[in-house]
C-alpha cells in the first residue's frame, strides 16, 4: 500500500511529547495557585473532560517549551515527505492540541476522543475506525491503552516501549515497528538524579550539635545518622515536588532544562508517586528517634512546601525561608540527640545561612545578564535588585563572623577548648571565604547553588581543611 493511501495517526501524550498535558496543566495551575488540588477535588463530580478544560484555563502551558520526542518528529517528517497525511489525536482539550499542531506545522488534522473511565483505548479505536476505516491508518502510540488501536491499525508503531508492551504489540499486529531513542542513560540513574542526592550534603548539619558540644559517642552518632536519613528523604520528596511546580522556569533555564521532569525523562505522574513514597519512609524513620524530632521534621516539610508554592516568589522573604531551612537541620540534630543547641551556634547559623541564601539569589541575578533577561522566572527578583541582595549577603556574613568573635570571648568556650585563642584564626578564614563566595557570585562564576560551588572549588576545600585543623589545635581533649 502506498504511503499516500495511509493516514498516520499520532498520539499526543507520551508519544509526540514526553509528558502528559493534563499533568502539565495541573502542576502549572498548582504553581500559580496553591488551592488548585482543592478545586480539582471539587470538580470530581463533573466529567473528566470538563476537569481537564478547567485546568487548561487555569494553567499557563508554553507549548514551545514542552519536551517533544525528536524521534517521533523525525518519523512524521519522513512520512510527510513521502506524501503522507498526518493526524494528531488527544484526550485533552483540543484547543491545546491545535496550538501544538500549528506550532509544529506538519499535522493535517487534529481530533479529540473521550477519556471517560477505562475506555481510553476503545474510544480511540472507535473514533479512528469511524474516521478512516479499519486497517486504513498507521498508529504511533506508547502505552497499554494503545493496544486496541494497534490491533485495528494497518501498521502498529510504538515508541520507547517496554519489552512487555512490544510483545503485546507484536501479538495484536504482525505489521509493527518499534521506535527507540539511542539513550544509554540508566533509568535507575535518572530517578536517582531526580532525588538530587548531592543536596543531601546540606543535611550533614544535623551532626553539628554533636560536634559543637564535643559529644562524639556512638549513640549520638547513630541518632544523628537517623536524623540525616530522615531529612534526606523528606528533602528529596520536596525537591521532586518543587521540580514539578517549576517545570516552565526550569525549561527556560540553560542548565535546569536537563532535569528529569523538565526534560521529560521521567513521567510527571511517577514523580508524585516517588515523592509520596519518600515522604512516608522519611516520616517512618522518625520512629527510631523521638516526637520532638518529628515536629522539627514536619516543620521543615511545611516550610519547604510553602517555599515551593509561594514564598519563593516573595522577595527577601524567600531568603529568610531558605536560611530557616538550614537552621532547622541543626535544630533537628539537637532534637534527635537531646543535645541543647547553644545560643552561639543558633546565632551563627542564622546569619551564615542568610548570607549564603542571599549569595544564591545574587548568583541567579548575575546570571540574568548573561541570558539577556531582566527577571528571574518564578522569583520576584530583577537585575535592579543586585545591589540590595549583595548587601544582605555582606552584612549577614559579617554578622556571622562577629558571632564567632563573641563566642571566643565567652566563658563557655573555656570548657570545650584548651587553646581558645587559636579560634581567632576562624574569623579570618570565614571572613575570607565569605568574601570569595560573594565575589564569585558577582563575577558570574558560581553555580546555581553555593553548596555545589563550594564542593567543587579547590580554595573552598582548602578552607574546610584549615578550619578542621584550627579546631583540632584548639580543642581540649
pLDDT-derived band at 45, boundaries 50, 70, 90: low
| pLDDT for the residue numbered 118 | 46
Distance CA 135, CA 155 (A): 8
Highest mean pLDDT pick, 48-62, 242-256, 399-413, 449-463: 399-413
Write down the pLDDT at residue 117: 44
- pLDDT value of position 446: 80
Residues 438, 440, 443, 446, CA torsion sign: negative
Task: Return the HEC string of the chain.
Answer: CCHHHCEEEEECECCCECCCHHHHHHHHHHHHCCCHHHHHHHCCCCCHHHHHHHHHHHCCCCHHHCCECHHHHHHHHHHHHCCCEEEEEECCCHHHHHHHHHHHCCCCEEEECCCCCCCHHHHHHHHHHHHHCCCCEEEEECCHHHHHHHHHCCEEEEECCCHHHHHHHHHHCCCEEEECCCCCCCHHHHHHHHCCHHHHHHHHHHHHHHHHCCCCCHHHHHHHHHHHHHHHHHHHHHHHHHHHHCHHHHHHCCCHHHCHHHHCCCCHHHHHHHHHHHHHHHHHHHHHCCHHHHHHHHHHHHHHHHHHHCHHHCCCHHHHHHHHHHHHHHHHHHHHHCCCCCHHHHHHHHHHHHHHHHHHHHHHHHHHHHHCCCECCCCCCEHHHHHHHHHHHHHHHHHHHHHHHHHHCCCCHHHHECCHHHHHHHHHHHHHHHHHHHHHHHCCCCCCCHHHHHHHCHHHHHHHHHHHHHHHHHECC
Condensed to tens digits (0 to 9), the pLDDT of residues 374-409 reads: 555 556 667 777 888 899 999 999 999 999 999 888
The candidate with the shortest Cα–Cα distance to 27, out of 309, 300, 235, is 309
Distance, in Å, from the CA atom of 179 to the CA atom of 187, rounded to the nearest integer, reads 18
* Comparison of pLDDT for 382 and 175, the residue scoring more: 175
Cβ neighbours of residue 131 under 8 Å, at least 6 residues apart? Answer: 111
Q: What are phi and psi of 443, to 5 degrees?
A: -95, 5
Q: Is the dihedral of CA 383, 386, 387, 392 positive or negative?
A: positive
The 10s digit of each residue's pLDDT in 426-449 is 999 999 999 999 998 888 888 667
Average pLDDT score over residue span 20-34: 84
Contacts of 381 (CB under 8 A, 6+ apart): 315, 361, 364, 365, 375, 389
* CA–CA separation, 321 and 327 (whole Å): 10
User: Is pLDDT of 3 > 60?
Assistant: no
**Per-residue pLDDT for 88 more than 80?**
yes
**For the residues 42-51, what does the mean pLDDT come to?**
62
CA–CA separation, 385 and 381 (whole Å)? 6
Amino acid at each position: 500500500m502506498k504511503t499516500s493511501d495511509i493516514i498516520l495517526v499520532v498520539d499526543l501524550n507520551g508519544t509526540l511529547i514526553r509528558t502528559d498535558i493534563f499533568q502539565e496543566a495541573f502542576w502549572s495551575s498548582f504553581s500559580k495557585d496553591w488551592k488548585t488540588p482543592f478545586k480539582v477535588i471539587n470538580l470530581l463530580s463533573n466529567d473528566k473532560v470538563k476537569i481537564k478544560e478547567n485546568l487548561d484555563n487555569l494553567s499557563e502551558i508554553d507549548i514551545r517549551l514542552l519536551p517533544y520526542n525528536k524521534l517521533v518528529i523525525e518519523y512524521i517528517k519522513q512520512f510527510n515527505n513521502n506524501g503522507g497525511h498526518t493526524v494528531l489525536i488527544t484526550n485533552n482539550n483540543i484547543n491545546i492540541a491545535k496550538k501544538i499542531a500549528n506550532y509544529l506545522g506538519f499535522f493535517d488534522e487534529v481530533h479529540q476522543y473521550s477519556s471517560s473511565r477505562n475506555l481510553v483505548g476503545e474510544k480511540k479505536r472507535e473514533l479512528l475506525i469511524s474516521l478512516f476505516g479499519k486497517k486504513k491508518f498507521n498508529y504511533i502510540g506508547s502505552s497499554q491503552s494503545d493496544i486496541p488501536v494497534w490491533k485495528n491499525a494497518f501498521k502498529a508503531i510504538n515508541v520507547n516501549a517496554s519489552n512487555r508492551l512490544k510483545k503485546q504489540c507484536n501479538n495484536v499486529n504482525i505489521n509493527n515497528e518499534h521506535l527507540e531513542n539511542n539513550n544509554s542513560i540508566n533509568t535507575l540513574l535518572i530517578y536517582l538524579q531526580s532525588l538530587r542526592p548531592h543536596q543531601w550534603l546540606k543535611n550533614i548539619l544535623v551532626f553539628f550539635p554533636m560536634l559543637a558540644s564535643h559529644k562524639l559517642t556512638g549513640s549520638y552518632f547513630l541518632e544523628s545518622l537517623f536524623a540525616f536519613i530522615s531529612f534526606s528523604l523528606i528533602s528529596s520528596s520536596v525537591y521532586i515536588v518543587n521540580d514539578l511546580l517549576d517545570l516552565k522556569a526550569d525549561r527556560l533555564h540553560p542548565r535546569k532544562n536537563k532535569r528529569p521532569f523538565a526534560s521529560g525523562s521521567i513521567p510527571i505522574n511517577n514523580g508524585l508517586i516517588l515523592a509520596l513514597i519518600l515522604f512516608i519512609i522519611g516520616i517512618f524513620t522518625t520512629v527510631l528517634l523521638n516526637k520532638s524530632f518529628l515536629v522539627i521534621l514536619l516543620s521543615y516539610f511545611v516550610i519547604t512546601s510553602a517555599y515551593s508554592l509561594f514564598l519563593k516568589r516573595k522577595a527577601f522573604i524567600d531568603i529568610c525561608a531558605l536560611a530557616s531551612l538550614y537552621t532547622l537541620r541543626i535544630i533537628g540534630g539537637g532534637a534527635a540527640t537531646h543535645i541543647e543547641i547553644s545560643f552561639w551556634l543558633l546565632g551563627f547559623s542564622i546569619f551564615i545561612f542568610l548570607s549564603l541564601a542571599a549569595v544564591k539569589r545574587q548568583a541567579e541575578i548575575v546570571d540574568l545578564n548573561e541570558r539577556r533577561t531582566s527577571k528571574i522566572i518564578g522569583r520576584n527578583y530583577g537585575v535592579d535588585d543586585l545591589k540590595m541582595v549583595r548587601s544582605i549577603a555582606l552584612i549577614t556574613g559579617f554578622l556571622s563572623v562577629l558571632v564567632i568573635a563573641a563566642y571566643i570571648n565567652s566563658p563557655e568556650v573555656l570548657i570545650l577548648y584548651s587553646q581558645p585563642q587559636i579560634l581567632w584564626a576562624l574569623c579570618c578564614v570565614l571572613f575570607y571565604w565569605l568574601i570569595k563566595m560573594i565575589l564569585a557570585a558577582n563575577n558570574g562564576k558560581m553555580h546555581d547553588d553555593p553548596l555545589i560551588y563550594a564542593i567543587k572549588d579547590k580554595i573552598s576545600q582548602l578552607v574546610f581543611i584549615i578550619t578542621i585543623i584550627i579546631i583540632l589545635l584548639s580543642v581540649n581533649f
